[in-house]
Homo-oligomer: A and B are copies of this chain.
Amino acid sequence: MELSSKILENAVNELATLPGVGKRSALRFALALLNSSDSDFAAFVGSLTSLKTEAHFCARCHNISDTPVCPICSNDNRNQHIVCVVENIQDVMAIENTQQYRGLYHVLGGVISPLDGIGINDLNISSLLARVKSEEIEEVILALPTTMEGDTTNIYIDRQLKAFPNVKVTTIARGIAIGDNLEYTDEITLGRSIVNRIPFEKA
C-alpha cells in the first residue's frame, strides 16, 4: 500500500501496532480520525492520554482502578479470605462477567517467561505473598493460562505458598467446554478431563 503522505503513513504505522490491527484497518482508522471534528479528536486523544497518565492500579490486587483500592477489594460483601491469582486485568473482567466468584483477585501482570525477559521480580508475586502473610487468606486459586509459562508460574507460586501450610492452594477446573463434542476435543484436554473426573452430583 503506497500512501501519498508521510504523515499519514506514520499514523497508519502507529495504529497498526494495536493488537489485531492490520495496515488496511489502520488506514481506515487514520482517515476516520482525520475526518473527525477537532473537538471529537481532542476527546479521543484526551481519553487515551488520561488513561496513560491518570489510571491507577489497586494497591492491594493491582487491578486497574480510579481509587487507591479498587471497588472489588473494598467491597465488604465479598469473601476477603479467597484470592484468585490471574495474569492480567482482562482475566479479572472475564471472571467478574461470570458472576460466579465473590472473592478477591491478585493480578500478576504477566507470567514468568525467560524468553521475553519476564522474571519473578517483574511480576506482582512478592505482594501476593505479603498479602497471604498479613491478610487472613484461606485459599489461593491459581487461574493462570495453561501454557509452559503459566505452569512454571503456578509451580513457583505454589512452592512459595508452602510456607503457609494453612492456606489451601487450588486451581480452576480444566476440561471439556459445556456443549463441546468429545470427538472434537484435543487429546490433552480430554485426557485430563478423564484423569481429573469428579463425583457425578458435583457436575
Q: Which residues of A contact B (CB under 8 A)?
A: 1-8, 10-11, 13-15, 17-21, 25, 27-34, 38, 40-41, 43-45, 47-52, 54-56, 63-66, 70-72, 88-90, 92-93, 96-97
A55 interface neighbour in B8, B48, B51, Cβ under 8 Å: B8
A89 interface neighbour in B20, B31, B52, B71, Cβ under 8 Å: B31
Residues of B contacting A64 with CB < 8 Å?
3-5, 8, 34
Verify B4–A48 contact, CB threshold 8 A. no
Verify B45–A4 contact, CB threshold 8 A. no
Verify A70–B4 contact, CB threshold 8 A. yes
Residues of B contacting A17 with CB < 8 Å?
32, 40, 44
Least Cβ distance of A44 to chain B in Å?
5
Residues of B contacting A45 with CB < 8 Å?
45, 48-49
Q: In the complex, what distance in Å separates the CA atom of A92 from the CA atom of B31? A: 13
Q: A13-B47, A14-B48 are in contact. Are A19 and B7 (CB under 8 A)?
A: no
Verify B29–A66 contact, CB threshold 8 A. no
Residues of B contacting A44 with CB < 8 Å?
14-15, 17
Identical copies of this chain, number: 2
Q: In the complex, what distance in Å separates the CA atom of A93 from the CA atom of B31? A: 12
Instruction: Please list 24 pairs of residues, one from A and one from B, whose beta carbons are closer than 8 Å in the complex, sorted by A's number.
Output: A1-B93, A4-B64, A4-B70, A4-B72, A4-B93, A6-B66, A7-B50, A7-B51, A10-B47, A10-B50, A11-B47, A11-B50, A11-B51, A14-B44, A14-B48, A17-B32, A19-B32, A21-B29, A27-B90, A30-B51, A34-B52, A34-B55, A45-B45, A45-B48
Residues of B contacting A34 with CB < 8 Å?
51-52, 55, 64
Q: In the complex, what distance in Å separates the CA atom of A50 from the CA atom of B6? A: 11
Q: A10-B51, A47-B14, A48-B11 are in contact. Are A97 and B20 (CB under 8 A)?
A: no
Verify B1–A65 contact, CB threshold 8 A. no
| Further pairs besides A17-B40, A34-B52: 7, Cβ < 8 Å | A2-B96, A11-B48, A13-B47, A15-B44, A18-B33, A31-B89, A34-B55
